[in-house]
């Protein structure tokens, strides 16, 4: 029985409140992997590229993956809503759940044939992700999580680090923020840029990075899957004030964000508060 069949069986045998998140996560994992293979085939053949709003690039592969995931996930649960970077939202019919998808997170990396792009999928219920799958096709990494079930990569359990201080931490994030941290006298290891924000955050869940930062204006589809991965790996993704993120709102943009384990979080949030309260210098 495939993950899709198990999802449908669980959905048909249950009601809204007790649907199995584990079956959902497995179904998302299968869909993300198939979408990743589709993207790789299109990349090898060559794809047309253009710019949309804010000069953000998009390709034929983004649109094809979006269409594939929309058809697959909507067939699993037609009553669930739909939200994606590349297509019009579909309101939920008789459910508080919505699929949240970024068909290709890190399109610039995809265009350049670099490895750090992903397929990000999540199911959100009442504003919080309850199941997710994040797939990096080039490196064949499948991250999966469901509420209260832990997070895995290719089946192996994930855990955030217990890094206690900013000093010596491995930190990924916007260059301007990292620069201001260094100006403040903080000594840390700056991680090379990871183009997929979802993958950057997932590296916190896997313990390869201690802290990941995101500049303001990241959207629901950039964050929902990675948010659950970090949470289920024992960490948290919050805004600079320590507030948990809420999805499926009319406004999809989020403020400056930070993902980490619990030990370093008080110092991290205090540092971000100071930086945000102080205007950036102008050259």
Distance of CA 91 to the CA centre of its chain: 21
Task: Supply the pLDDT for residue 279.
Answer: 72
- Indicate the DSSP class of residue 244: B
Query: What angle, rounded to 10 degrees, do the helices at 21-45 and 3-12 form?
Result: 140
**Mean pLDDT, to the nearest integer, of 35-56?**
93
At 213-248, the pLDDT tens digits run 999 999 999 999 999 999 999 999 999 999 999 998
Answer whether 214's CB lies under 8 Å from 257's CB: yes
**Mean pLDDT, to the nearest integer, of 164-174?**
97
Answer whether 32's CB lies under 8 Å from 142's CB: yes
Distance of CA 65 to the CA centre of its chain: 16
Q: Which two tokens mark 39?
A: 């993207």
Q: Domains of the chain (ranges plus CATH)?
A: 3-157 (3.30.540.10), 170-277 (3.40.190.80)
Task: Tell me how far apart the alpha carbons of residues 195 and 206 are, in angstroms, rounded to a whole number.
Answer: 17
Task: Supply the pLDDT for residue 17.
Answer: 45
**Mean pLDDT, to the nearest integer, of 245-271?**
95
Phi, psi of 264 (to 5 degrees): -90, -10
Task: Supply the pLDDT for residue 63.
Answer: 98
Task: Supply the pLDDT for residue 53.
Answer: 76
Task: Tell me how far apart the alpha carbons of residues 48 and 35 are, in angstroms, rounded to a whole number.
Answer: 18
pLDDT, greater one: 52 or 130: 130
pTM: 0.93
**Mean pLDDT, to the nearest integer, of 124-144?**
97
pLDDT at 72 over 60: yes
Host H or E run for residue 91: none
Helix-, strand-, coil-residue percentages of the chain, each rounded to 5 = 35, 25, 35
pLDDT at 174 over 50: yes
Task: Tell me how far apart the alpha carbons of residues 236 and 238 are, in angstroms, rounded to a whole number.
Answer: 6
């Amino acid at each position: 029985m495939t993950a899709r069949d198990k999802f449908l069986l669980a959905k048909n045998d249950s009601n809204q409140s007790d649907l199995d998140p584990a079956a959902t996560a497995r179904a998302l994992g299968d869909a993300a992997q198939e979408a990743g293979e589709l993207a790789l085939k299109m990349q090898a053949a060559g794809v047309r590229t253009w710019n949309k709003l804010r000069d953000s690039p998009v390709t034929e592969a983004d649109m094809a993956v979006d269409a594939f995931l929309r058809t697959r996930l909507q067939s699993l649960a037609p009553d669930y809503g739909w939200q994606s970077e590349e297509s019009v939202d579909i309101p939920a019919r008789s459910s508080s759940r919505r699929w949240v998808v970024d068909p290709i997170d890190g399109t610039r990396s995809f265009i350049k044939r670099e490895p750090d792009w992903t397929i990000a999928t999540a199911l959100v219920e009442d504003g919080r992700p309850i199941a997710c799958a994040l797939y990096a096709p080039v490196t064949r990494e499948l991250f999966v999580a469901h509420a209260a079930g832990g997070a895995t990569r290719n089946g192996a359990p994930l855990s955030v680090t217990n890094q206690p201080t900013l000093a010596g931490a491995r930190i990924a994030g916007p260059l301007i923020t990292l620069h201001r941290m260094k100006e403040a006298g903080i000594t840390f290891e700056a991680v090379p840029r990871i183009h997929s924000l979802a993958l950057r955050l997932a590296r916190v869940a896997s313990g390869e990075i201690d802290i990941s930062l995101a500049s303001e204006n990241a959207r629901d589809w950039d964050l929902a899957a990675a948010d659950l991965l970090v949470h289920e790996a024992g960490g948290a993704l919050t805004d600079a004030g320590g507030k948990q993120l809420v999805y499926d709102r009319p406004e999809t943009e989020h403020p400056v964000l930070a993902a980490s384990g619990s030990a370093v979080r008080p110092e991290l949030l205090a540092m971000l508060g100071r930086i945000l309260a102080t205007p950036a210098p102008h050259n």
